[in-house]
Amino acid sequence: MALYVDSSALLKRYVEEHDSAVAVQAMASDPVLVTSRLTEVEIRRNLARLLADDEYSKARRQLAEDLDAFALVALDAPTCSSAAQIAEQTLCRSLDSLHLAAAQRAGRHTTVLTFDLRQAQAARQLGLTVIGT
C-alpha cells in the first residue's frame, strides 16, 4: 500500500496549521510515500509566501530531503492525459486533477492524504480512498 501525499498535506510538515499533527502522523504511519513533481512547485511557492528568510531556508532544505525519500510520479503525457479525463469526469480544478492522476498512477491500493475538500470529493468520486478531509 502507498500513501499519495498532496501539497495541502505535505505543507503541514513545514508550516504549523490546523491538522498538522494529523498529517505528520499519517505520513509517519506509511512506509511508502508518493507525490508528484507538482507538489514541489506548490510547496516551494507556499513556503516563500508564508515563511521568513531563516525559516524558509530551513523548510526548503527539509523539503528537498523529504522529496528524496518520496516516490515521485512524473507529470508525463499519460499522466496529463489521465488528468484531463479526471477533470472532465469530476469537474475538479486542473491542479487537483493532476494530483489525482498521479495518485492513480501510483497504483490501485494508493490512499490519498489531502486536506483539500474539493480534491477529496473528486478522489472519492474516482473510487480512491482518502484520509485527511
pLDDT, mean of residues 20-24: 97
* pLDDT for 133: 86
pLDDT digit string, tens, across residues 48-99: 999 999 999 999 999 999 999 999 999 999 999 999 999 999 999 999 999 9
Q: Please name each of the domains of the chain with its CATH number.
A: 2-131 (3.40.50.1010)
pLDDT digit string, tens, across residues 32-49: 999 999 999 999 999 999
- The cell for 41 is 512547485
Whole-angstrom Cα distance, residue 103 to residue 124?
12
Whole-angstrom Cα distance, residue 51 to residue 58?
10
- The cell for 91 is 469537474
pTM for the whole structure: 0.95
* pLDDT for 1: 82
Long-range contacts of 45-53 (CB under 8 A, 24+ apart): 46/7, 46/11, 46/15, 47/11, 47/14, 47/15, 50/15, 51/14, 51/15
pLDDT, mean of residues 86-113: 97
